[in-house]
Amino acid sequence: MTVWIVLSIILVLLSPIAWLKPSRRQSGRMAARMQARRLGLGMQLAPESWPHWMGGQAPDTCPQYSRPRTSASAACWCYWQPSPGRWVNQWQEPCEDERLQAQLSQLPADVWKVQADARMLALWWGERGDVAVVDQIIKALA
């Protein structure tokens, strides 16, 4: 009887250690973030205010992946993906640039926003998927 009491006390004391182990989803996110950093993308959790027509599908604090732009004279633009495969600007007009549309169509369905300004190219991603999706994003941003 004493052995069972001692064993149960030890198990009760050791059970919080199991809570410290990250879940599969958290491990997958960390692996994707590390792969992105290895391939030259910057990553930060950034607060974002989404347009009202996005329907609340994107979180308030969202992972933002970015890389510096190589051409300073390149065009500046911003597109959102309210539904998979449909890229629109702030006035909900579809992307008309065929070359850019071809690049945007390579991105996963859980990329909510892609923005290019004078200094960097950034995208806001839901981080669903595995490390192979990071390679797909790198190709689309190149």
Residue type, 31: A
Instruction: Please identify which residue in the block is written with the tokens 């994003």.
Output: 137
Please give the pLDDT value at position 52: 82
In this prediction the pTM is 0.78
Please give the pLDDT value at position 62: 83
- Domain ranges for the chain: 24-141
Q: In the chain, which residues have pLDDT < 50?
A: none
HEC secondary structure over 66-106: EEECCCCCCCCEEEEEEECCEEECCCCCECCCHHHHHHHCC
| Rounded Cα distance, 112 and 136, in Å | 15
Please give the pLDDT value at position 79: 93
